[in-house]
Amino acid sequence: MTFSFRHKRLGYLLLEVSDIEQSTQFATDVFGLDLVTEDKDGARYFRAGASHHDIILAPAQRPSLARSSWELESSAELEAAFGHFESRGFQPLWVSDADCAALKLDRAFRMIDPVLSGTWEFFAGMTTIPSPRKNMLTQFQGGKHFGLFVPDCPTATDFLVKEMGFLVSDYFEGNRLSLLRAWPNPNHHSVALIETRSSIKRMHHVAFMVNEIDDIGRLFNRAQRFDAQIQFGIGRHPTSGSIHLYIYGPDYFVWEYTLGMEQFPEAGAREARRMSSAPEDFDLWGAIPDATHKDELPELKVAR
């Protein structure tokens, strides 16, 4: 299957936080990211690998997932994506040269999707930092994904497949959870959609792939030392096969380490599986996710 444009990876997420100092300490001392720089508005940039940044934390009154940003394979793919969204009436707009320079991007555009009303950014080319990371708490592999609570999982899934260039890797019976990959990126999923009875769209988690099981074990113990509550795990997903650990950060953002995700070929990949939604089948190791703070998770910032 082919689409109008080709993704390379999830580039970065912009998270708005209520306490930038507390969130910075968590990102560096608990999660293991490098603090790269701070801009004039107080936003701080963090990296897990060679790309200039993987997360931006920006101070705000209300915590939210403000933007997801996706790297495409080339400038030609960026032009193709712009034309695709323009033809669909989504009104994409090019990011100014000054803003691209501040974000260490070559070229980029943004659009607001008509289903989730979230802001999506697409770019080609982010500055590479060749020097090794200073923070060696964890050896990150490079892949990332995020999850959202949405009021209508089938509709959101259908939109990502038909308009945004995603493919479903697995879904749960009842169509209340779907795992989608940004084609042709091989990772089992780049976005997870989980249906909720609330009309409020919330961020479920952000995940970083790590190199070895020791990274997950060390995070488990660091979380306890820093009084960071475990949200889910240590466990193993029956879908992607990943070993996982989710922990709460400040503002009830949920951060995950994941290891061993299934990889898909560009062509000839298996069909999406309809997975059991029985509680005993949700985790291969019997881990149970905490739902105590479900209504306190940060919202998806709805663009107007």
Q: Where are the domains of the chain?
A: 7-126, 140-300
Question: Percent of the chain, pLDDT > 70?
Answer: 99
Rounded to two decimals, the pTM is: 0.96
Q: How high is the pLDDT of residue 128?
A: 97
Q: How high is the pLDDT of residue 3?
A: 81
d(C-alpha 36, C-alpha 53), whole Å: 7
Same topology between domain 7-126 and domain 140-300: yes
Q: How high is the pLDDT of residue 1?
A: 57
Q: How high is the pLDDT of residue 161?
A: 97
Q: Could you write out the three-class secondary structure of the chain? A: CCCCCCEEEEEEEEEEECCHHHHHHHHHHHCCCEEEEECCCCCEEEECCCECCCEEEEECCCCEEEEEEEEECCHHHHHHHHHHHHHCCCCCEECCHHHHHHCCEEEEEEEECCCCCCEEEEEEEECECCCCCCCCCCCEEEEEEEEEEECCHHHHHHHHHHHCCEEEEEEECCCCEEEEEECCCCECCCEEEEECCCCCCEEEEEEEEECCHHHHHHHHHHHHHCCCCEEEEEEECCCCCCEEEEEECHHHCEEEEEECCCECCCCCCCCCEEECCCHHHCCCCCCCCCCCCHHHCCEECCCC
* Alpha carbon separation from 46 to 34, 37, 61 (Å, rounded): 5, 8, 21
d(C-alpha 304, C-alpha 295), whole Å: 23
Mean pLDDT by 10 residues, the chain (304 residues): 88 98 98 97 97 98 97 97 97 98 98 96 97 94 96 97 97 95 97 94 97 97 97 97 98 98 96 95 96 95 80
Q: What tokens appear for 75 in the block?
A: 């400038």
Per CATH, is 140-300 categorized as 3.40.109.10? Answer: no
CATH number of 7-126: 3.10.180.10
* Alpha carbon separation from 78 to 2, 83, 95, 266 (Å, rounded): 16, 9, 12, 19
